[in-house]
Structure 1
Amino acid sequence: MAGHIEDRWLNKRPDPKTGNRERTDRWGKGKRYRVARIPGVRDRSFDNLTDAKAWKAKAEHESRVGDFVDPRRGAMTLTEYIEDHWWPGRTDEPSTAAPMRSRIWNHIVPLIGSKPLRAVDASVLRAWKGDLLARVESSTAEVIWIHLATILQAAVDDGRLTRNPCRVHRSIKPPKRTKKKAKAWAREIVDAVRAGLQERYHLAVDLGVGLGLRQGEAFGLGEDDFDFEAGVLHVRRQLRWDSRGRPYFCLPKGGKTRDVPVSPRLAHRILDALKRFPAVECTLPWRNPEDPETELQARQRKPITVRLVLTTSHGNRIYYRTWNDRSWKPALFAAGVIKKIGEKVQKYSGRTRKNPIFEQSREDMFHVLRHTYASVQLEAGESIVSLSQWLGHASPNITLEHYAHFMPQAGARGLQAMDSWFAPPAPIPPSHPPKAPVPYWDKAKALANLKISAFDHKKVKYKETARGGLAVNVIEC
């Protein structure tokens, strides 16, 4: 059914006596013309007939093709949409939800949250990007931009926006992180850092550099994950903590379990460490530490028990922040990797404790051991495909992108081929090389041997012998 335009100030039907349309009670009040009865479109009023006709034609066309979006649905602020519509529908695991929420509520809501959805255009994004890059590093800004683009795309899908402004405006580009090459340690640094840790944590370094484990995977590793007869480690879980400091087990990053080969000498170190520091049972919920609300959630979050290989001196699971500050960074300082920049004084029950403050060096945290593992494998000539599987990457392309600079002689064969291209061409030997002419001095010497003093060169024939001598045939003297 086609829409129509209603004049709200005059009656629809003319007066039977006068033939004129009489004024209604709305005469002079509010907007006069209302566009109504367009399928799937809410009625809308206008002050003048020209605007009403233009909007009616546009709305009818968009309604037919299924692209109509009522601008009034985009009148709510970005903050209202996030808090009331977008965030409540998210089902992320705690390890993902906590940092996502922190970025959104710290860098999106305060800066542009008061803007209506339909007001987020290129100029707003341009100003927001500038403010964002003044607050965080480009790598973090890139992630926050992706969060905003995801929110606005959901608004498009909900019929509140016609287009996603983060993806349609060519004048504004998303922030791009500065690409840095992965850093690997030399063996001397690995050994120095390992020596700076407590003896019970030496195994953590061995697992990182010998198997390429992430920190959460190493802290969540169980004794039963090792198959020493087959020489394989089954990476099946990681230990994570939510924003409220509650621990839980979950699958490794990307949900990718994997098998990693264990070298014989590393296996010997692991067995020796387990004898000196036996594994400790730890029972934690799976996937989410929140109390289940349904029977399905109860099954999904059912606690599991793991005999943890790495534990604290008190026999507890390792909290990564405490371990980084109290164990890892002091070991880095002792090895000369980072510097001490100050002290933090804290008082506990009348006692004063001074804790050192070290410089920030993200590239020297536990993950550098994983990079070192990759560098050793590639320098040994291991294939990218195998290494990608052992690291748990989604594809070998990711491995190649991160670690191509670790490959020895990368580009050397191509460089050698290119150098050969520009080499001067080799001379081509003739099929029948011409004989060198007999020098005049040798001719005179041959005639002297025949005791001929005067001769006419035209009447003397010369011929080389098989041994390289010179035969003379005097025709006439």
Structure 2
Amino acid sequence: MGHVQDRWFTTVKDPNNPKKTVQQPTSRCGVGKRYRARVIGPDGGEISESFADGQDKAAQEWINTTEAKITLGIYEAPQASKKSKGMPDLKSFASDYVADHDMDEASREVLEMRFRKHIFPHLGEKPLDEINASALRSWDSKLRKDKLSDQYRHTLFMNLSAVLNAAVDDEVIDKNPCEGKSVKKPKPTKKKVVPWPAARVSAVRRGLPERFRVGTDLGAGLGMRQGECFGVAVEDIDREGREVHIVRQLKTVRNTLVFALPKNKKTRSVPLPDHVERTIDEHIERFPPIRITLPWETPDGPLVTVELIMTSMRGLPIRANDFDRNYWKPALVGAGVPAGRYENGMHDLRHLYASVLLDGGESIKTVSELLGHADPAFTLATYTHLIPENIPRTKGVIDGFLSQLRG
């Protein structure tokens, strides 16, 4: 027999009179459609339909009609019924979401790849309201069997959850199944940043071709990301102001190299240490900068020309994947440093920059600005364990304050 579930209220015993019951609001009270009518289909699976507040009689009539059709053998299969009413499947809805969402093209390309490789093969053909907790548990089980890391599974889960939240906002579905209590969200394993010792930086630097060694100084001495190192130009070096203006990065979008704003669309200026300036001058003398013209932000964007300080062996813009494979990882191996896919990249030079600043007493706010982070809270969460403790100073500060109270 079918039944109608009231998702806004649940019946519980009256605490003042155990022989009576009372209606108690649920966590969903007032959210989405109130009633869920359920019947058992011809294949033994559940068939359901949602109804708004005040439509409890309509929900019961739906049950009566649906059960009659099942008895007569004229019931239309659930998937066909939903598609005839325009219920989109995940693939079509998510594809539109990714295409329309406000993000840079490189991020859009990555998001498309994640859905194409790891989400659509398992869930793409399902109508959105058939993606339930059970389907999500099955999907995550397959991801674990594919030996995807906890971090990557967490990222995929959050990407899918964002799409399903959009479906809730559009009133296509009533709730996001990713938020179900029985769905165990993958938890990323947060590794503490361990700054490289100076000897490791020197060893890796020596292992690089001379043409690329300046990149280690840009990373460790200016806190640049890899794409920012490859995108820095002669005109960005402000010798009078003793600064370097980080205003672009070099990245690949749709297999095309482009110039773009730094991550988070945040330009910044960082102090130019004497050592880094000398290194840049020596590099420029040995490997003169080359004027490079590339589109801005997207493959069909406006063309921009700058004099790049770092270029490839053939005097072309540097592709990060080629650089990592052909030069960075061999340098790691030569220095006896693990060269895994996600460890000991050029980004570790940036961590070293941050750790040196913090050890020197710079504030989290200043370090966050110099690194170009979106939020100082992220900087604090990443590097809080590197902030030096000063217990004697803390004691002195408290003693000084309390002494004023004695007045």
What is the TM-score normalised by the length of structure 1? Answer: 0.64
Match of 1:138 in 2: 150
Match of 2:217 in 1: 206
Task: Tell me if 1:189 matches 2:169.
Answer: no
Instruction: Mark the runs of 5 or more structure 2 residues left unpaired by the alignment.
Output: 1-50, 53-57, 66-81, 400-407
Q: What amino acid is aligned across from residue 207 of structure 2 in structure 1? A: G
Q: Select the structure with the greater relative contact order (CA < 8 A; seq sep ≥ 6).
A: 2
SS in 2 for 1:381: coil
SS in 2 for 1:239: strand
SS in 2 for 1:363: coil
CA separation of 1:413 and 1:132: change in aligned 2, threshold 3 A: farther
Q: Contact between 1:236 and 1:252, CA under 8 Å: does it hold in 2?
A: yes
CA separation of 1:47 and 1:157: change in aligned 2, threshold 3 A: closer
Match of 1:97 in 2: 108
- Deviation of 1:154 after TM superposition, in Å, equals 2.0
Mapped partners of 1:80, 1:231: distance in 2 = 52
Q: Deviations over 1:28-67 (max 9, x none)?
A: xxxxxxxxxx99xxxxx99958747xxxxxxxxxxxxxxx
Q: Contact between 1:71 and 1:161, CA under 8 Å: does it hold in 2?
A: no
- Deviation of 1:74 after TM superposition, in Å, equals 6.8
Match of 2:18 in 1: none
Match of 1:381 in 2: 361
Instruction: Mark the runs of 5 or more structure 1 residues left unpaired by the alignment.
Output: 1-37, 40-44, 53-69, 292-300, 339-358, 421-477
Q: Contact between 1:138 and 1:177, CA under 8 Å: does it hold in 2?
A: yes
SS in 2 for 1:283: strand
- Deviation of 1:223 after TM superposition, in Å, equals 0.7
CA separation of 1:211 and 1:73: change in aligned 2, threshold 3 A: farther
Match of 2:380 in 1: 400
Match of 1:269 in 2: 279
Match of 1:327 in 2: 327
Q: Deviations over 1:422-467 (max 9, x none)?
A: xxxxxxxxxxxxxxxxxxxxxxxxxxxxxxxxxxxxxxxxxxxxxx
Q: Contact between 1:220 and 1:237, CA under 8 Å: does it hold in 2?
A: yes
Task: Tell me if 1:153 matches 2:165.
Answer: yes
- Deviation of 1:267 after TM superposition, in Å, equals 1.3
- Deviation of 1:71 after TM superposition, in Å, equals 9.9
- Equivalent residue in structure 2 for 1:165, among 174, 177, 200: 177
CA separation of 1:73 and 1:152: change in aligned 2, threshold 3 A: farther
Q: Contact between 1:74 and 1:116, CA under 8 Å: does it hold in 2?
A: no
Q: Contact between 1:74 and 1:160, CA under 8 Å: does it hold in 2?
A: no
CA separation of 1:385 and 1:92: change in aligned 2, threshold 3 A: closer
1:106-145 alignment runs, 5 A limit: 106-135=117-146, 136-145=148-157
Mapped partners of 1:73, 1:414: distance in 2 = 69
Mapped partners of 1:198, 1:317: distance in 2 = 16
Q: Contact between 1:311 and 1:317, CA under 8 Å: does it hold in 2?
A: yes
SS in 1 for 2:182: coil
Q: What amino acid is aligned across from residue 277 of structure 1 in structure 2? A: F
Q: What amino acid is aligned across from residue 100 of structure 1 in structure 2? A: L
1:66-105 alignment runs, 5 A limit: 75-83=87-95, 85-105=96-116
Q: Contact between 1:155 and 1:161, CA under 8 Å: does it hold in 2?
A: yes
- Deviation of 1:409 after TM superposition, in Å, equals 2.6
1:357-372 alignment runs, 5 A limit: 359-372=339-352
Q: Contact between 2:98 and 2:108, CA under 8 Å: does it hold in 1?
A: no
Q: Deviations over 1:111-137 (max 9, x none)?
A: 122322111111212222222233311
- Deviation of 1:138 after TM superposition, in Å, equals 1.0
CA separation of 1:73 and 1:260: change in aligned 2, threshold 3 A: farther
1:279-358 alignment runs, 5 A limit: 279-289=289-299, 291=300, 301-338=301-338
Q: Deviations over 1:368-414 (max 9, x none)?
A: 1000111111111111111110000122211111111222236x459
- Equivalent residue in structure 2 for 1:216, among 227, 244, 247: 227
CA separation of 1:374 and 1:115: change in aligned 2, threshold 3 A: same
Mapped partners of 1:334, 1:325: distance in 2 = 14
SS in 1 for 2:164: helix
Mapped partners of 1:397, 1:47: distance in 2 = 52
Q: Deviations over 1:90-124 (max 9, x none)?
A: 45322101211111111111112232211111121
Single out whichever of 278-287 and 110-119 deviates more from structure 2: 110-119
CA separation of 1:317 and 1:107: change in aligned 2, threshold 3 A: same
Mapped partners of 2:107, 2:377: distance in 1 = 24
- Deviation of 1:331 after TM superposition, in Å, equals 0.9
Q: Deviations over 1:187-238 (max 9, x none)?
A: 1110111111111111100000001100000001111011011111111010
Q: What amino acid is aligned across from residue 276 of structure 1 in structure 2? A: R
Q: Contact between 1:139 and 1:177, CA under 8 Å: does it hold in 2?
A: yes
Mapped partners of 2:60, 2:266: distance in 1 = 60
Mapped partners of 1:71, 1:171: distance in 2 = 28
Bigger share in helix: 2
SS in 2 for 1:317: coil
Mapped partners of 1:134, 1:414: distance in 2 = 52
Mapped partners of 2:151, 2:221: distance in 1 = 29
Higher-Rg structure is 1
Mapped partners of 1:181, 1:161: distance in 2 = 39
CA separation of 1:164 and 1:385: change in aligned 2, threshold 3 A: same
Q: Contact between 2:99 and 2:108, CA under 8 Å: does it hold in 1?
A: no
Q: Deviations over 1:304-323 (max 9, x none)?
A: 10110101222111111111
What is the TM-score normalised by the length of structure 2? Answer: 0.74
Q: Deviations over 1:7-45 (max 9, x none)?
A: xxxxxxxxxxxxxxxxxxxxxxxxxxxxxxx99xxxxx9
Single out whichever of 115-124 and 186-195 deviates more from structure 2: 115-124
Q: What amino acid is aligned across from residue 323 of structure 2 in structure 1? A: W
